[in-house]
């Protein structure tokens, strides 16, 4: 009788889940104008969508979701499945261009390390290398990738995708440590149920790496408290990396004292998830205090070294963050409706909300660990999706915790895989084509075209525009990321809008752009291509007479008239290609025109 009752519940779940997926999509579609995301708003990505086609694809996606919910392999190698599936899904988006101009900062910083070495990077960070409001760690890693593997965007994408897959796997082990393997597994899979992430993983930014370091810091700190030993050093290093990955991580790391207090309560109360091996409560408490303070001590020592050498830079950045970034977050934000009901699958949000009720009913103090970041976001009204990204792993862990109220295994997994299936449909069929048509694709396509031209170097000019608040100079590093050619660029600082117009702009950093020396003169330097070779290359225009090289002109929109000095440069050239794709949404619309010598 009991078996029949369970089968009846399973039947209803297998029936209701597909209907819920389709109904939720229809609600999102018809209310898509409520999505105010600044990059992948449903109002934009579904502007030309064929509704019938989407419904058909969503319905078809239920089939692989059902098959995966029945596969025994997932129970044998859950961590491997999470890593491989997340990596393959994310790699499907490598074709999108760099769609956010912040990339120019991280590329420029990384290229300094590649060209001048690690010592130069450390010494000149915040001086010769413009640091803006960035911390150095992620650019440092990007620079190492360039230095040891070659300056190619694909290596950066492999690196960021690897970190995302490691985040999925880390949240699996976090859930397993706190509760059980199934909770961790569903949380790791559900991270693929957030379509917004797929627009960020391929980009050369700090957000995805920062999300990994924060998630891994939480897991490693829990292991350090529970086991000690080598985990103390691992946790200290992870926390140190999280602190240096992004300034916003500092607030998020307040979860660590919460973890310590929850574990300490576990020693004194009835929460028995800590391995005690028959020891007394007093011994457990002493062990936790020793391990916790050991992690804190090592982390402080590591940070003290950084502060000792970079105190002036860090203090100036923190002052600037208080005066500029903190007030700016209120102006640059997006709505919670957009983030939690469009950019995250609504079923993840709803089950996460339900998990709060479940945890209260169970009086489960461990749940505070996973909901702490969400509380911070709500309390401080952090509404920009890119800044909220770091809590997504904990949000999926909350959702997985709520799903444990479904007793039987297969229906739970069917629901999770259905969420992921519908998310991948949205990301692949709506987000991906939209991102590939964004005007930033012009820089990518131009870079690929330049690689087909028989020349070692190109000379780039930008035409100032009053129609955008973005300084076109920052498009040069992005073009550089997309091409293997050496670039010579003479930055014209004559035009700059009044300070009052840009002082509160999120794009103010573009007007503080400093032309790197390697674009101005490109003296004899080690080659930046290949694996650490020491071939010496000359200045890009060495051996070429005036007007004999490839010339690239970047403008905001189509070129109406060229300045005299550029017209003089191209008088012996012919226009060969113009890349002018535009989605008609964003004010910054770089158009790239390429001129080749007539002879």
Kindly write down the DSSP assignment for every residue of 60-105, as one continuous string.
HHHHHHHHHHT-THHHHSHHHHHHHHHHHHHHTTTTS---STTHHH
User: Domain ends where: 373, 404, 436?
Assistant: 436
Dmax (CA) for the chain in angstroms is 90
Residue 276 has pLDDT above 60, yes or no: no
| pLDDT band per the 50, 70, 90 thresholds, residue 3 | low
428-433, long-range: CB < 8 A, 24+ apart: 428/92, 429/54, 429/57, 430/42, 430/45, 430/46, 430/49, 430/54, 431/40, 431/45, 431/195, 431/198, 431/199, 432/92, 432/93, 432/95, 432/96, 432/198
| pLDDT band per the 50, 70, 90 thresholds, residue 282 | low
What is the rounded (10 degree) CA torsion for 150, 152, 155, 157?
160
Whether residue 416 is found in the same domain as residue 481:
no
In a domain, 383, yes or no: yes
Whether residue 261 is found in the same domain as residue 383:
yes
Whether residue 77 is found in the same domain as residue 21:
yes
Residue 464's CB is within 10 A of a number of other CB atoms, namely 16
In a domain, 295, yes or no: yes
Place of tokens 């970190």: 163
| pLDDT band per the 50, 70, 90 thresholds, residue 587 | confident
Identify the H or E element spanning 577.
Answer: strand 573-579
In a domain, 107, yes or no: no
Q: What is the pLDDT of residue 89?
A: 97
Q: What is the pLDDT of residue 525?
A: 36
Residue 56 has pLDDT above 80, yes or no: yes
User: Domain ends where: 383, 416, 436?
Assistant: 436
Instruction: For 467-501, write each residue's pLDDT tens digit.
Output: 778 889 999 999 999 999 999 998 877 777 777 77
Percent of the chain with pLDDT over 70: 89
Whether residue 447 is found in the same domain as residue 428:
no
Whether residue 359 is found in the same domain as residue 465:
no
In a domain, 539, yes or no: yes
In a domain, 385, yes or no: yes
Range of the domain at 460: 441-597
Instruction: For 566-586, write each residue's pLDDT tens digit.
Output: 888 888 889 999 999 988 888
Instruction: For 329-381, write each residue's pLDDT tens digit.
Output: 666 678 999 999 999 999 999 999 999 999 999 999 999 999 999 999 999 88
Whether residue 233 is found in the same domain as residue 91:
yes
Identify the H or E element spanning 487.
Answer: strand 486-489
Instruction: For 365-375, write each residue's pLDDT tens digit.
Output: 999 999 999 99
Strand partners, 574: 596
Contact 370, 400 (CB under 8 A): no
Whether residue 456 is found in the same domain as residue 592:
yes
| pLDDT band per the 50, 70, 90 thresholds, residue 78 | very high
Residue 267 has pLDDT above 60, yes or no: yes
Whether residue 378 is found in the same domain as residue 259:
yes
Total structural domains in the chain?
2
Instruction: For 546-565, write each residue's pLDDT tens digit.
Output: 335 899 999 988 887 888 88
Strand partners, 454: none
Average pLDDT, the chain: 88
User: Domain ends where: 386, 403, 436?
Assistant: 436
More confident site: 271 or 145: 145
In a domain, 16, yes or no: yes
Q: What is the pLDDT of residue 49?
A: 85
Of all residues in the chain, what percent are helix, strand and coil, respectively (each to 5)? 65, 5, 30
Whether residue 171 is found in the same domain as residue 202:
yes
Q: What is the pLDDT of residue 393?
A: 98
In a domain, 123, yes or no: no
d(CA 573, CA 594): 10
Global model pTM greater than 0.85: yes
Instruction: For 392-413, write each residue's pLDDT tens digit.
Output: 999 999 999 999 888 777 888 9
Q: What is the pLDDT of residue 5?
A: 52
Contact 222, 439 (CB under 8 A): no
Whether residue 56 is found in the same domain as residue 171:
yes
Whether residue 405 is found in the same domain as residue 388:
yes
Q: What is the pLDDT of residue 512?
A: 85
Whether residue 215 is found in the same domain as residue 83:
yes
Contact 235, 471 (CB under 8 A): no
In a domain, 406, yes or no: yes
């Amino acid at each position: 009788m009991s078996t029949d009752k369970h089968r009846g519940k399973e039947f209803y779940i297998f029936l209701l889940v597909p209907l819920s997926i389709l109904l939720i999509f229809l609600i999102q579609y018809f209310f898509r104008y409520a999505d105010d995301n600044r990059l992948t708003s449903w109002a934009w990505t579904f502007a030309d969508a064929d509704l019938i086609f989407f419904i058909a694809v969503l319905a078809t996606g239920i089939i692989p979701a059902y098959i995966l919910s029945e596969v025994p392999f997932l129970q044998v190698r859950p961590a491997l499945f999470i890593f491989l599936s997340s990596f393959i899904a994310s790699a499907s988006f490598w074709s999108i261009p760099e769609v956010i101009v912040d990339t120019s900062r991280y590329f420029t910083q990384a290229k300094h390390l590649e060209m001048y070495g690690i010592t130069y990077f450390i010494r000149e960070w915040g001086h010769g290398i413009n640091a803006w409001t960035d911390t150095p760690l992620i650019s440092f890693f990007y620079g190492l990738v360039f230095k040891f593997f070659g300056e190619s965007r694909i290596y950066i994408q492999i690196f960021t995708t690897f970190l995302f897959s490691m985040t999925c796997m880390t949240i699996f082990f976090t859930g397993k440590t706190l509760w059980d393997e199934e909770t961790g597994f569903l949380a790791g899979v559900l991270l693929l149920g957030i379509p917004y992430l797929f627009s960020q993983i391929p980009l050369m930014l700090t957000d995805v790496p920062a999300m990994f370091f924060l998630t891994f810091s939480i897991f490693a700190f829990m292991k350090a408290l529970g086991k000690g030993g080598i985990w103390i050093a691992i946790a200290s290093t992870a926390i140190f990396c999280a602190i240096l990955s992004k300034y916003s991580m500092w607030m998020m790391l307040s979860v660590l004292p919460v973890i310590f207090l929850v574990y300490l309560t576990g020693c004194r109360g009835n929460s028995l998830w800590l391995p005690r091996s028959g020891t007394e409560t007093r011994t457990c408490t002493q062990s936790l205090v020793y391990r916790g303070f050991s992690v804190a001590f090592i982390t402080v020592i590591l940070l003290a070294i950084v502060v000792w050498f970079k105190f002036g830079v860090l203090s100036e950045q923190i002052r600037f963050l208080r005066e500029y970034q903190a007030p700016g977050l209120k102006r640059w934000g997006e709505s919670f409706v957009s983030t939690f009901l469009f950019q995250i699958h609504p079923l993840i949000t709803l089950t996460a909300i339900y998990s709060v009720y479940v945890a209260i009913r169970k009086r489960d103090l461990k749940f505070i660990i996973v909901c702490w970041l969400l509380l911070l976001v709500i309390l401080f009204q952090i509404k920009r999706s890119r800044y909220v990204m770091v809590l997504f792993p904990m949000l999926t862990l909350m959702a997985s915790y709520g799903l444990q109220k479904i007793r039987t295994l297969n229906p739970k997994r069917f629901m999770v895989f259905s969420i992921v299936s519908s998310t991948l449909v949205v990301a692949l069929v709506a987000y991906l084509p939209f991102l590939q048509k964004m005007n930033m694709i012009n820089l990518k396509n131009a870079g690929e075209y330049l690689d087909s031209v028989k020349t070692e170097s190109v000379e780039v000019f930008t035409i100032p525009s009053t129609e955008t608040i973005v300084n076109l100079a920052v498009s040069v590093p992005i073009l550089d990321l997309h091409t293997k050619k050496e670039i010579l660029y003479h930055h014209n600082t004559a035009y700059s809008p009044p300070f009052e117009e840009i002082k509160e702009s999120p794009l103010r950093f573009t007007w503080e752009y400093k032309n790197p020396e390697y674009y101005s003169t490109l003296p004899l330097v080690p080659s930046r291509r290949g694996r650490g070779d020491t071939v010496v290359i000359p200045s890009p225009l060495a051996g070429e007479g005036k007007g004999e090289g490839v010339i690239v002109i970047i403008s905001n929109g189509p070129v109406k008239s060229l300045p005299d000095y550029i017209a003089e440069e191209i008088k012996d050239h012919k226009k060969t290609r113009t890349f002018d794709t535009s989605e008609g949404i964003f004010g910054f619309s770089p158009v790239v025109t390429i001129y080749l010598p007539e002879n």
